[in-house]
Structure 1
Amino acid sequence: MDFGMGRAAEALRSELRQLVTDHLPAGFLGAFTDDPDDLATAQRFCGVLADRGLLCPAWPSELGGRGASVWEQTVVREEMWAHHEPRGAQYMGVNWVGPTIMRHGTPAQQGEHLPPIASGEVIWCQGFSEPDAGSDLASLRMEARADGDGWRLRGQKIWTSYATMAQWCFLLARTSRGEKRQQGLTVFLTPMTTTGIEVRPIRSLMGPHHLNEVFFDDVRVGPENVLGEVGDGWRIVQEVLAFERVGIARYARCERLLQEAPLVLGPAWDALPADLQARWARMLVHCRRARLLAYQVVSGQDSGRVKPVDSAAYRIAVTRLDQESAEVLREISASAPATDEGRWFAVEVEDHWRYSQASTVASGSVEIQRVLLARALLAAS
């Protein structure tokens, strides 16, 4: 099975790895640690990528990219996730906020939002889940009430990543009620500095910055903040979730850590139990399976056919891989030598394990993805 993308892609991988080596400090575990310098490092690194057209390489050059293929964008995505996502929260704007605004935004919205995303200057958060509307997103109650030519937002969002640092929120609210719950939903591009917005952090295993409650108390937005048509939010969000789920290349981090394990352990590798080595090998196979499923979604996006069912299949595979590989790696890391390399490997594995705990819930629970996949398979049978 050939997973290669050609010489240009391999050259791009080499370039990205060199940039990581040159611009990220030793011991970097991502932007969202207790150390505020890590976020600053990520923001600077985004500037380095943007200067080379590598933050959004598949975007048109006039929008800050370099007109590259979606496969080159995939290489960037894989290398960033393999190395603790040094783009920080920018992956959200790059992977799906920007592309969604390209597809559904007005020229004014595109002019306002796309250049700052492409240059790494702005952070977005996502206002979807609510206390009683998580995986069942269509049951959300967040109200957008007509107010002259604009709207008043009232309600609560929860599990909102990066809300403490974001300048904008990609917000889904209910503007009317129809026969189906999916009807009457609208997307609002909402400035987080608007009067009436309150953010309350939620502490978790993943550390600060990740999870928050956001309260909207009679927040006024104008017609220019509506993305697409009023009431067409559900269709837009289905596209968003397809882009988002494939945009998180967790398999790349899993594979890098799995490949490093024998090298770090050295002679101690042969002393590992045979069943643990067999589980390690099985995880490598699952990495390749998840990669192929991701490529199937990317291929569909490249041809303009975004299939939620393909995204669901990928999501199931990659989240299970995330958690199962984390457990295998934890067992392996217990035998890592007491060297600088061995200790760093154990730290990386622990970080991977903590993040994996939420992977089957974030971006839509794996149970909901199974329902979507089952419905599609039954409809096709």
Structure 2
Amino acid sequence: MTVVDLDFGTDATALREQLRGLVRDHVPDDFLGAFTDDPADLATAQRFCGLLAERDLLCLAWPAEFGGRDASVWEQTVVREEMWAHHEPRGAQYMGVNWVGPTIMRHGTDEQRRTHLPPIARGEVIWCQGFSEPDAGSDLASLRTTARRDGTGWRISGQKIWTSYATMAQWCFLLARTSRGDKRQQGLTIFLVPMSDPAIEVRPIHSLLGPHHLNEVFFDDLVVTAADVLGTVDEGWRVVQEVLAFERVGIARYARCERLLQAAPDALGAAWEDLPAELRGRWARMLAHCRRARLLAYRVVRTQSQGTVHPGDAATYRIAVTRLDQDSAEVLMELAEHAGTGAGRFRAAVADHWRYAQASTVASGSVEMQRVLLARSLLAAP
């Protein structure tokens, strides 16, 4: 039986209070994320990200040699929880912090570490992920973007889609096919490519999530060198599986659900007592589901801290938390209908949560694919 100690310790408790204080002092009360139609929100996130970096709070669990301060993974979990609960005032930095940087630490060359890790730790660079394609979303191994040999380097051509932050990113963590094997997972390679190259074209996809979230990215004979390859040529799938496990637990979605659910009684005031018993019962059930998702996340964090990644555990958590995202959004929307005119901030936050929740069961791999991963891991278990 796996036992998880839920007491993070006094350092983590102090860190949580410090982060909440910084949010109160430096993030406007009506902040609902960096990627709205108001440019001031992105500016707020960029300033706040720089503030965290100055105080060694952005990548605090990274090794000191790479710009961190050797804190525990549990302290980094506190950062994830507080940032997502408060509508991610770091902006798009979580991608570089949570999995791009750690993946470069594990699989990159010394030169790649020197080039990429310090800017991430300083909050100066945004990364995007070049994975999904029009005919290879959840079935990622079916991708068609190809990289063909050209002397000592490569030429990359193809299309990616649903690429978050591509309009603002400086670098792309790109997966392309470099050869054909007996299985689709063979012959894939990861490249670290600059988004400023003129061979790359980004076309925004308008959606209810707002600007910057969804984009198409086209690669037209993009020239890269051997130095841009992360890890071993043709063996990128192994790294991708590790990346996806980190990504799927990297956003603490349960933290925002729980914060909004706990805020509901105060937001509704006297109207809370007049709610139908059935609705209050579903509200309580959602709080219990928040705790379940949190415990599943902690189990994955624990195994990752020991140097292992269990895809089945990550898939289990992802299924639970994305269902929580959508189910809690529906309950919160019903609750918000009973809130008075003085609860405008609560209603706006709930509406924002609902919009994000609509995409949660397909982001980072659909729920259906997570179930496949979970089934495979159970069948492979001794």
* TM-score, scaled relative to structure 2: 0.98
Query: 1:304 aligns to what?
Result: 307
Query: 2:237 aligns to what?
Result: 234
Secondary structure of the equivalent of 1:46? helix
Aligned residues: percent identity? 75
Structure 1 residue 191 corresponds to structure 2 residue 194: yes
Match of 1:336 among 330, 336, 339: 339
Query: 1:118 aligns to what?
Result: 121
Structure 1 residue 64 corresponds to structure 2 residue 67: yes
State the 1:380 CA deviation: 2.4
Query: 1:355 aligns to what?
Result: 356
After TM superposition, the runs of 4+ consecutive aligned structure 1 residues lying more than 3 A away are 1-4
Match of 2:256 among 246, 253, 256: 253
Secondary structure of the equivalent of 2:149? strand
State the 1:6 CA deviation: 2.0
Whole-angstrom distance in 2 between the partners of 1:255 and 1:360: 18
State the 1:2 CA deviation: 7.3
Q: For 1:1-381, what aligned pairs fall within 5 Å after superposition?
A: 3-339=6-342, 342-380=343-381
Amino acid at match of 2:244: L
State the 1:36 CA deviation: 1.3
- Considering only aligned residues, what root-mean-square deviation do their CA atoms show, in Å? 1.0
The Cα offsets for residues 156-191 of structure 1, whole Å up to 9 and x where unpaired, read as 000000000000000000000000000000000010
Whole-angstrom distance in 2 between the partners of 1:226 and 1:244: 20
Whole-angstrom distance in 2 between the partners of 1:303 and 1:380: 19
The Cα offsets for residues 301-332 of structure 1, whole Å up to 9 and x where unpaired, read as 10001111110000000000000000000000
Whole-angstrom distance in 2 between the partners of 1:328 and 1:228: 45
Amino acid at match of 2:368: E
State the 1:337 CA deviation: 1.5
Q: Which moved more, 1:115-124 or 1:370-379?
A: 370-379
Whole-angstrom distance in 2 between the partners of 1:371 and 1:214: 28
Whole-angstrom distance in 2 between the partners of 1:215 and 1:113: 23
Secondary structure of the equivalent of 2:360? coil
Whole-angstrom distance in 1 between the partners of 2:157 and 2:133: 12
Whole-angstrom distance in 2 between the partners of 1:222 and 1:375: 37
Whole-angstrom distance in 2 between the partners of 1:234 and 1:379: 19
Q: Which runs of 5+ in 2 are unaligned?
A: none
Q: For the Cα contact (< 8 Å) 2:311–2:377, is it kept in 1?
A: no
Whole-angstrom distance in 2 between the partners of 1:379 and 1:183: 20
* TM-score, scaled relative to structure 1: 0.98
The Cα offsets for residues 232-252 of structure 1, whole Å up to 9 and x where unpaired, read as 110000000011010010000
Q: For the Cα contact (< 8 Å) 1:50–1:64, is it kept in 2?
A: no
Whole-angstrom distance in 2 between the partners of 1:146 and 1:35: 44
Whole-angstrom distance in 2 between the partners of 1:11 and 1:185: 44
State the 1:266 CA deviation: 1.7
Amino acid at match of 2:118: P
State the 1:38 CA deviation: 1.1
The Cα offsets for residues 201-232 of structure 1, whole Å up to 9 and x where unpaired, read as 00011011100000000000111100000011
Query: What is the aligned length?
Result: 379
Q: Which runs of 5+ in 1 are unaligned?
A: none
